[in-house]
Amino acid sequence: MKGLYFQQSSTDEEITFVFQERENLPVTEDNFVKLQVKACALSQINTKLLAEMKMKKDFFPVGREIAGIVLDGILPLDSEDPGFCEVVRVHEHYLVHKPEKVTWTEAAGTIRDGVRAYTALHYLSHLSAGKSVLIMDGASAFGTIAIQLAHHRGAKVISTACSLEDKQCLERFRPPIARVIDVSNGKVHVAESCLEETGGLGVDIVLDAGVRLYSKDDEPDVKLQLLPHKHDIITLLGVGGHWITTEENLQLDPPDSHCLFLKGATVAFLNDEVWNLSNVQQGKYLCILKDVMEKLSAGVFRPQLDEPIPLYEAKVSMEAVQKNQGRKKQVVQF
């Protein structure tokens, strides 16, 4: 039985994906189950986090968002089994029942983005009806789920689009997004647009997709030039607002901190892996998993999924995902 693994070069820059034969699964222990995998979603691997957690191995299993008979869930960060395999062994604390109406690919393709959206909007920013929220890059797989959760909670949503296709996608959302800000040409000021939309009050919650720490002239990466500067985020944030950032290397200078202090605003870092790092949060984690599946079954979550991928194409597809290529969620179907 083969599984997909990744091997990191000595320079820690290049990642190689390989299929390897796996040994037979060990005898199932208490609270562990064998799961026949029906679908496994592809997500970028945070090699820096694995290194910081001292989890470096010669070969690391790939694929953690899985759906199968009879249960589905996210494999823990330290799982020895790759999700891209016919059968895996997993602890019952990482599983949740899949509603009958939900397909295997929908379950695997939504579970992680659903957890991230709940972590950001429910636990880190306490989203409620009437709040205004800016969701950057709303046409991404994660952005789509975050917008749908915000709308379900009764929030006013503003979002950014990185291309004409993304803008058209966001304009088709129902209920409609209050304002779609097209940042593809680099000429639109996100802060000005948000302040105009909120009558100068600023938004209550910002969920970024990365921020620019330096000026455009000092930023060589063209993609990063489309991101808002950290000063723009602070400017558009309202009094008592919450900034949820995915920028793990965020640097705030004393004037930035002072401005946040005057607004009584907070900054929180979105790391959805925290649920798997401590058993103290296990109950909340299982509640999130269950609620994500229920909202998927009820049609609240409508994920943007690409066509299912056969297992033999998983290696090539994972290489593209690791390079952040493609917009829709990639799911391997067994």
Residue 249 has pLDDT above 90, yes or no: no
Residue 63 has pLDDT above 70, yes or no: yes
Residues in contact with 56: Cβ distance below 8 Å, sequence separation at least 6, in sequence order: 8, 50
Q: CA 107, CA 100: separation in Å to the nearest integer? A: 11
Q: For residue 207, what pLDDT is reported?
A: 96
Residue 255 in domain: yes
Per the structure, how many domains does the chain have? 2
Residue 309 in domain: yes
Higher pLDDT, 43 or 78: 43
Q: Are 6 and 50 in the same domain?
A: yes
Residue 324 in domain: yes
Q: CA 35, CA 87: separation in Å to the nearest integer? A: 6
Torsion of CA 213, 216, 219, 225, to 10 degrees: 90
- Select from 109, 26, 100 the least CA-distant residue to 65: 109
Q: Are 116 and 243 in the same domain?
A: yes
Q: CA 146, CA 136: separation in Å to the nearest integer? A: 10
- Report, as an integer, the average pLDDT of 269-298: 85
pLDDT (tens digit per residue) in 277-287? 777 777 888 88
pLDDT (tens digit per residue) in 156-197? 999 999 889 999 999 999 999 999 999 888 778 899 999 999
- Report, as an integer, the average pLDDT of 244-257: 91
Residue 177 in domain: yes
Find tokens 């005898």 and name the residue: 27
Residue 46 has pLDDT above 60, yes or no: yes
The pLDDT-based confidence of 313 (bands split at 50, 70, 90) is confident
Residue 280 in domain: no
150-178 burial, b for 16+ CB within 10 Å, e for fewer?
Answer: bbbbebbbbbbbbeeebbebbeebeeebe
Q: Are 86 and 154 in the same domain?
A: no
Residue 274 in domain: no
Residue 49 has pLDDT above 90, yes or no: no
Residue 71 has pLDDT above 50, yes or no: no
- Report, as an integer, the average pLDDT of 90-112: 86
Q: Are 184 and 232 in the same domain?
A: yes
Residue 328 has pLDDT above 90, yes or no: no
* Residues facing 133 on adjacent strands: 157, 205
Q: Are 118 and 265 in the same domain?
A: yes
Q: Are 60 and 118 in the same domain?
A: no
Residue 253 domain boundaries:
112-269
Q: Are 140 and 169 in the same domain?
A: yes
86: domain CATH number is: 3.90.180.10
Q: Are 265 and 118 in the same domain?
A: yes
Q: For residue 172, what pLDDT is reported?
A: 92
pLDDT (tens digit per residue) in 110-159? 999 999 999 999 999 999 999 999 999 999 999 999 999 999 999 999 99
34-67 burial, b for 16+ CB within 10 Å, e for fewer?
Answer: ebebbbbbbbebebeebeeeeeeeeebbbbbbbb
Q: CA 139, CA 161: separation in Å to the nearest integer? A: 7
Residue 125 in domain: yes
- Full 3-state SS string of the chain: CEEEEEEECCCCCCEEEEEEECCCCCCCCCCEEEEEEEEEECCCCCHHHHHHCCCCCCCEECCCEEEEECEEEECCCCCCCCCCCCEEEEEHHHEEECCCCCCHHHHHHHHHHHHHHHHHHHHHCCCCCCCEEEECCCCCHHHHHHHHHHHHCCCEEEEEECCHHHHHHHHCCCCCCCEEEECCCCCCCHHHHHHHHCCCCCEEEEECCCCECCCHHHCCCHHHHCCCEHHHHHHHEEEEEEEEECCCCCCCCHHHHHHHHHHCCEEEECCHHHHHCCHHHHHHHHHHHHHHHHHHHHCCCCCCECCCECHHHHHHHHHHHHCCCCCCECEEEC
Q: For residue 308, what pLDDT is reported?
A: 87
Residues in contact with 128: Cβ distance below 8 Å, sequence separation at least 6, in sequence order: 153, 154, 155
Residue 295 in domain: no
Q: Are 121 and 264 in the same domain?
A: yes
Show which of 269, 294, 315 is a domain's final residue.
269
Q: Are 91 and 116 in the same domain?
A: no
233: domain CATH number is: 3.40.50.720
126 Rama sector, left if φ>0, alpha if ψ -120 to 50, beta otherwise = left
Residue type at position 236: L
Show which of 225, 251, 269 is a domain's final residue.
269
Q: Are 174 and 55 in the same domain?
A: no
Show which of 248, 269, 290 is a domain's final residue.
269
pLDDT (tens digit per residue) in 195-245? 999 999 999 999 999 888 876 665 555 556 678 889 999 999 999 999 999
The pLDDT-based confidence of 302 (bands split at 50, 70, 90) is very high
Q: Are 128 and 193 in the same domain?
A: yes
The pLDDT-based confidence of 70 (bands split at 50, 70, 90) is low
* Residues facing 74 on adjacent strands: 65
